[in-house]
Amino acid sequence: MEPDQLCFAKTRPWPSIIEKLSIGIPITAAVILAFLANAYIAAIILTRLRVMIIAGKIHYLLANVCLAQCIYLSAHFLSSLPSIFSPIPIYNEPTMLILAAPNTIGYYTVLLSNFFIAIDRFVSLFAANFYSKQATTLGIVGISLVWLLSTVISALQADAGCHKRFNQWLMVYSYGCNGANCGRPFILGLTFDDFLTYFGQSICSLMFVLYLLCFLNIAHKQRHLNASTTRNKRNLMVVSALLCWIEKEFKLSLL
């Protein structure tokens, strides 16, 4: 099979330096700012971890999301930076694979971490007694599963030859030029192409449903209790559901 970067070269001519800089610099600047913001939030949470764990488990779940975002964004930065400023394409396949691997793992980790937070909020409302007794255990098990599943899925993709690489000509990550590798069966009769198409959409749809149920539950309680704290929780759920939708659109645009 033809090397991926040679295949990408057929998609369009090598962009001029002006074109590369006009597109690449804003993207890189946005990635750096997002990385710094996530790193800053994670650092604040981790430096005050003991206090925040007492205040509520949700804080170290957010720290986990921030760390996953840092891995995801750093991989994007490391892959795009050489391509933006290099006058010639980089054809070294192992190099491009290594640079893209953390991006793949980071993508799944961010997605599953947000999904776990939605599950955590749902359980805290609908199974409060169970949640209060098992919150710490659920948090540790959930975070461990998130990273394990992300690594396993990424490893299975790589083993099947369905690789994500940085297309230096279009300056985006792509699963293109993998031949028939991404059409191989993966799980439950789905191919990797099917999985990549529907996995992110399904997870985000489930998150939206979970947050919607939480919102309805809080609205029902507010009607009976009329508590200001309940109103604040409802607003939080609305914002979380909105952020979930925004993140879904953002992630799909980067695939």
Tell me the CATH number at 94: 1.20.1070.10
Tens of pLDDT, residue by residue over 153-185, are 888 888 888 888 888 888 788 887 777 778 777
| Domain presence at residue 36 | yes
Residue 68 has pLDDT above 60, yes or no: yes
| Domain presence at residue 207 | no
Residues written for the chain: 255
Domain holding 87, by residue range, is: 4-179
Token digits for 59? 């804080």
Tens of pLDDT, residue by residue over 109-166, are 989 998 998 898 888 888 888 877 777 778 888 889 999 999 998 888 888 888 888 8
Contact status, residue 69 vs residue 106, Cβ threshold 8 Å: yes
Contact status, residue 174 vs residue 167, Cβ threshold 8 Å: yes
| Domain presence at residue 31 | yes
| Domain presence at residue 120 | yes
| Domain presence at residue 164 | yes
| Domain presence at residue 197 | no
pTM above threshold 0.85: no
> What's the domain count of the chain?
1
How do strand 185-187 and strand 190-191 relate by DSSP bridges? antiparallel
